[in-house]
A and B are shown apart, each in its own frame.
Chain A
Amino acid sequence: GESVGLHLPTLSVQEGDNSIINCAYSNSASDYFIWYKQESGKGPQFIIDIRSNMDKRQGQRVTVLLNKTVKHLSLQIAATQPGDSAVYFCAEVLYNYGQNFVFGPGTRLSVLP
């Protein structure tokens, strides 16, 4: 498949360890945030979302934390598996008549056996 973002920041973790992927967003008016996973040759896939009135949201093996004071998002993946290897993007969603999804630069997660 095609490689996305050859020069992306890379996070390498051992299989079974927890992963933390960070993201800074730019607009303090953003009130909705999403994490997407993009595997090689595929489109971005929704993982988890969080609204600005929340600090934390948990899904299956994933947790998103939102710190509005410093405009920071993180995605925590528990017990990282080989299938988690992908590029992860955060997106902040601005709503002004239309929805505008602004994506971060992405982080490549590499799971080591």
Chain B
Amino acid sequence: DSGVTQTPKHLITATGQRVTLRCSPRSGDLSVYWYQQSLDQGLQFLIQYYNGEERAKGNILERFSAQQFPDLHSELNLSSLELGDSALYFCASSVMGENTEAFFGQGTRLTVV
């Protein structure tokens, strides 16, 4: 158990809908990352937050947004969902600073039908 908790584990929704994925980081970690993993692809970095502030942005679509709350949990909002958004979405957390590893949650499997 990495200490990172993601909910829900599975989510099935229709095209055009909006969903929210939730992540609770490890105790003491201030930094949260979101990744997308499609079936034939590796881990694509979406976005990083540190203590509520956006720190780094990757290939995140405009239809997607995220935030980190004062209690350090984070949410990833996916809207106007398309079939191609079906993927595993992982959250990871780390202590801030250079050269620190990230610990991953178990992921949320999103299926858009």
Contacts and interface: CB of A to CB of B under 8 A. Distances in A.
Interface of A: 2-7, 31-32, 34, 36, 42-46, 49, 51, 89, 93, 95-106
B35 to A, nearest CB: 8
Given A5-B40, A101-B33, 7 more contacts: A2-B39, A44-B90, A98-B50, A100-B48, A100-B56, A100-B58, A105-B42
B18 interface: no
A32 B99 contact: yes
Interface in B81-102: 88, 90, 92, 94, 96, 98-102
B107 A43 contact: yes
Nearest to B33: A101
Contacts of A31: 98-99
Interface residues of B, number: 33
Contact of B43 (A44, A45, A51): A44
B27 interface: no
Contact of A99 (B4, B94, B106): B94
B25 interface: no
Given A44-B90, A45-B2, A6 B40 contact: yes
A44 B104 contact: yes
Interface in B1-49: 2, 4, 31, 33, 35, 37, 39-43, 45, 48
Contacts of B103: 46
Contacts of A2: 39, 88, 109
Report which residue of A49, A93, A97, A99 has the largest number of chain B beta carbons within 10 angstroms of its beta carbon: A99
A34 B101 contact: yes
B65 to A, nearest CB: 17
Contact of B102 (A95, A101, A105, A106): A101
